[in-house]
Chains A and B, each alone.
Chain A
Amino acid sequence: MGMSHVLLERAPQLSNTIFKYQKGKYIMATPDALPLRTEVKFEADSREAILESWTARVNDLGVNVQYNAEVTAIEGTQGSFTVQLASGETVQAENVVVAIGLQGNLRKMGVEGEDDGLVHYQLDDPKEYWDKDIVVIGAGDAAIENAVALAQNENRVTIVNRKREFARAKPGNISLILGAIKDEMIECAYNTNPVRMQDGAIVLKGPEGEQIVRADRVIARLGAIAPRKFIEVIGGVFEEGADYPRVSENYESDRPGIYYVGALAGYPLIKHCLNQGYEVIQSIAGQPVDGADIPMLTEKFSSMLQGRSVYDLLNEVRDTVSLFNGLTILQLREFLLEADIQTYEPGGKIIRKGEAGDSLFVIVRGDVDIPISDAVSFTVPQGSFFGEMGLVMGRRRNSDALGGKDGTSVIEIPRNAALKLIASSATARKTLMDTIVLRKMQTFLSPGLTPEDLKEVLDTYEVINFSRGEALMQEGEEADAVYVVQSGSTAVTKEFGGKDVVLAYLPAGSLVGETALLNDAPRNATVRASVGVEALKIRKDVFQRLLDSKPKVRQIVQKVSADRAASTGARASGNEAKSKIVDFLMQNGIGEATNAIAIDNKLCVRCDMCETACAETHDGIPRLNRAAGPTYSARDAQAQVHIPISCRHCEHPHCMADCPPNALYRSPGGAVQINDTCIGCGNCARNCPYDAIQLSASPRKRGNLLTWLLFGAGDSPGKRRPAQKSKENKELARKCDLCEDVRGGPACVRACPTGAIIRIGPEGLIKKIQDAA
């Protein structure tokens, strides 16, 4: 371009961050879909190859580099900046691009004795260590790569992970470290933090208390943070709680003429960083270009552009959609890349009642009809969202959603992206919660209620988390609030003759505690969280004022309360034995299931036909273990119920929490499924509290049924020899898929000769028990 420039580099060489990577490190070029637009080539390769090609390219291009030049301050304004160097020199500039990354400011452990020389914050060459005791602190990519390389060089390595899993790292690294831990190459301390250094050792504190671990070297890879002081000196502004300084859409800081790109602006990937540098220089040169993601967004939104630019559209989307109000355009761009846009004719079905789904929909054009009954329907206007029940409560879609009369365009946000949105934007979270409260009140009480009627409720509700077994309210206590169960489920119990009897099971979405408020009486029953519960608490006085102001609403609440009392009263007079079974189910987590296996052990002849059938319909690997799992049975028990180990397709699947390739999903039929992008890292299997996921390789093909029956040739059905894992036949996560693609439903249920087994949700199962003679 022929621009006059100087590249100031603090270190004696360029690309210092990559230079400091450990020798031979293989560097990835993600995100794959993003095109690269710079003069400097960048493809996934080893550290050495990349450094060599970049140095050569920088020389070829004739970049003016000044090494060992550390910047201490920048004075002046756009057009005439004076850049102060540590050496005392100054450099004049019209514009300044700050691309210092974060590696110059490594995060420290912050423990006693860490400056004694034993602790290093990087590892140049793992080959420098041999036969040493080394403790690696951290669970990110750098820590994993260092630990594995050191272990390969015959060192005794302990890796210290603050959490209970490796989730932050790249999928490849996660499987690498988990493999190394499984093969006992590396010792891993989960849920553990360093406490202090102590001659030749480090003290760690884990779930079992403090332990002293011998260490010839401690390598702490805790990531890096933005050098806040320096940034503030040169005029950067950190918003409250932000880790990175604020930048505009073209990466300009609050001080005109100074730009931040790369990790400093919150984009740690090399590709992002190179593209941003390119975009900034183009805009300084007066030839601004679109971001690399803009063509992708343009294509995605092509149906909606109608001649406008994608920027106009982005602004419009941000302004109309309340959920996006708090996002910057850059955040919105990144976020929309993951979302999907769909257009519907009037009356077209966007979601179907009863379908399982956990994505969130945002209306960008037109409105959406949600029919509640044949006569009444609910209109959701442009800018609002719907489908939050599936996302937040893990329940099936409770009604259809249809395209409005002038056609509708919606953005479908997949579960993970929606969760990220809620986590990253306080405004989005608040908007979502408020809407849920509003809609819950409208469904429970009256669709006629407006946001104004509920203003006080919306202003005062609280979100409260209860852990399993904790009581939302106690029988006999003074009533202070009503609750809306947001996620999880609860069990209502009442004391009869000194024993707690379970009266009812209330799933997510229920309103609880209204009776005591209506009658101004103490609580008439205890409500406990049967799994982890998130509930919205609405204060007593607020709720009562609402009822006082709306006599019709009071009538409705009275009716609901009376109905509930009648049905639970009938059940309470039922029997204690049944209540015990329900209690057993709740204690074993059936409350969070959507579809679990239950076996009537009085009918089960232990033939294991269910397991065999499962194996035969699923590549020879059974996804249920009939004999294992909890059993309800005692001398005086009238019934025997057994919950074998198999997927329960939880409302909020624990397994989905940390899937690196995002291979777990919920099918429209309601099953939690694994697609073929599974990398076999085992996170899901470890996260499942019910041991329902296993890792295994594909077994050999089975023999023919008739030849086995007649001649005993080949393996018998369901009893194949164990699979041999190999490079081609990797261990992958396997679990129950509800036999969704098998005609006739779950093979285990169909195969049972005596009818002992059933696959059912908690509501159905409890009803069966209550109806049992």
Chain B
Amino acid sequence: MYVQTGFLASRLWLWIGILISTAALVAYFAHNPPQGRDGSTIVGYGLGGLSALIVVYLSWLGVRKRRFASSTGRRRNVVSAHVFLGLALIVTASLHTGFEFEWSVHTLTYVLLMIVILSGIWGITVYSGLPDKMGRNVSEMIIEKKRHDMTDLEQLDEDVEEIDRKLERALQFLPDAFRPPVKLSLEKTRIGGGLISILSGSSKGCATAKAYDQVREVADQGDWGEDERKRISELVADMSRKRELAACLRRDGRYRALLSLWLWFHVPITVALLVTLIIHVVLVFFYW
């Protein structure tokens, strides 16, 4: 259930996108010049010009979204336009090529455009699926927020720190056999790291998870007194919570990374596309 109307729910731009695509298809198939359908026919020029205009308009979003003081409506509507016009580009640009490909800057332009659009589609999927998962992932782990001016993640980080402090204190009272796993958890638990490890979001090899298993093992082996058993069960509970917290934070890191990773392709390749597009247009008009 959505409380708000999101960027994908815009009917207006969906229809404009469909209209442009249909019009392009009709024009392409209606016009059949003797030299074949390609970019140099009237329809070809038309589709090329239209596609180029759309590309320039869509890239302008990068500047527009940072102009906060301008009052040109809601950014959501601009993003809706961006999405549906971008999808329509698949049709208009492909038809513009006439499906003639070669090793040239012209084809490169087309390929770059398709990569940009594909990365955009990737973006749409992460934007529409991940926020929900992210919210659930974090809020399930929140037991109580201490202060409401804290973010959920700050609270979870603090929970981890608190458990660490408890573990450190517990070291003094626990039997020596527990020392290595507790030290392992305190010293070797890593959340985040390099790009690959963030993106995997995996808790395989999590030091606390290992430590938790070891603690259970040691606990099962020994013959403990009343007092020790109490401490051990507390330790097991803390370790278990820390393991879950670490896993949750790693998943969150992964979601966060995925939400922006696609832009690392989408934006630089757009810049490259703009360069090849200019070259393509200049070559066509001056050297053909």
Contacts and interface: CB of A to CB of B under 8 A. Distances in A.
Interface of A: 577, 581, 598, 600-607, 609, 612-613, 616-617, 625, 627-631, 633-635, 637-642, 645, 690-691, 705, 709, 717, 742-744, 747, 749-758, 768-769, 772-773
Interface stretch (B63-71, B91-99, B170-178, B200-208): B63-71
Contacts of A640: 131-132, 135-136, 139
A655 to B, nearest CB: 15
Contacts of B66: 705, 709, 717
A641 B3 contact: yes
B65 A753 contact: yes
Interface of B: 1-7, 9, 62-63, 65-69, 71-76, 79, 127, 130-132, 134-136, 138-140, 145, 148-154, 256, 259
A754 B136 CA distance: 19
Given A628-B151, A638-B1, A755 B7 contact: yes
Given A604-B131, A609-B65, A633-B136, A753 B71 contact: no
Contact of A751 (B4, B68, B130, B136): B68
Contact of A612 (B62, B68, B154): B68
A773 B145 contact: no
A755 B74 contact: yes
Contacts of B79: 753-755
A602 to B, nearest CB: 5
B2 A613 contact: no
Nearest to A615: B68
Which 7 interchain pairs have the tightest Cβ spacing?
A: A744-B71, A755-B76, A627-B151, A633-B139, A743-B71, A600-B4, A638-B1
A773 B65 CA distance: 29
Given A616-B69, A628-B151, A754-B76, A605 B259 contact: yes
Contacts of A772: 1-3
Given A645-B148, A758-B4, 7 more contacts: A601-B134, A609-B75, A630-B148, A640-B135, A742-B71, A743-B71, A754-B6
Nearest to B140: A635
18 contacts: A577-B1, A602-B131, A605-B131, A617-B68, A633-B138, A634-B136, A635-B136, A639-B1, A639-B2, A645-B148, A691-B148, A742-B69, A750-B68, A751-B75, A752-B75, A755-B6, A756-B131, A758-B4
Contacts of B134: 601, 606
Nearest to B155: A628
A264 to B, nearest CB: 48
A65 to B, nearest CB: 60
B81 to A, nearest CB: 12
Contacts of A757: 4
Contacts of A641: 3
B65 A751 contact: yes
Contacts of B74: 749-750, 752, 755
A613 B68 contact: yes
B244 to A, nearest CB: 14
A627 B142 CA distance: 14
Given A601-B131, A602-B131, A754-B6, A634 B149 contact: no
Nearest to A629: B148
Nearest to A716: B66
B71 A750 contact: yes
A755 B5 contact: yes
Given A640-B135, A691-B149, A754 B7 contact: yes
A750 B73 contact: yes
A717 B68 contact: yes
Contacts of B69: 616-617, 742, 747
Contacts of A613: 68
Scoring B2, B68, B76, B148 by chain A CB atoms within 10 A of each residue's CB, the highest score goes to B68
A607 to B, nearest CB: 8
Contacts of B148: 628-630, 645, 690-691
A630 B138 CA distance: 12
Given A605-B127, A605-B130, A756 B6 contact: yes
Contacts of B145: 630
A716 to B, nearest CB: 9
A628 B149 contact: yes
A747 B68 contact: yes
Contacts of A709: 62-63, 66
A689 B81 CA distance: 40
Contacts of B132: 601-602, 640
Contacts of A616: 68-69
B131 A603 contact: yes
A267 to B, nearest CB: 43
A756 B6 CA distance: 6
Nearest to B61: A753
B3 A753 contact: no
Contacts of A717: 66, 68
A750 B75 CA distance: 6
B83 to A, nearest CB: 10
Contacts of B67: 705
Nearest to A603: B6
B135 A633 contact: yes
A610 B148 CA distance: 19
A691 B147 CA distance: 10
Contacts of A642: 135
Contact of B73 (A625, A638, A744, A753): A744
B35 to A, nearest CB: 43
B182 to A, nearest CB: 31
A751 B79 CA distance: 10
B4 A755 contact: yes
B259 to A, nearest CB: 5
Contacts of A628: 148-151, 154
B272 to A, nearest CB: 16
A750 B78 CA distance: 10
Contacts of A630: 145, 148
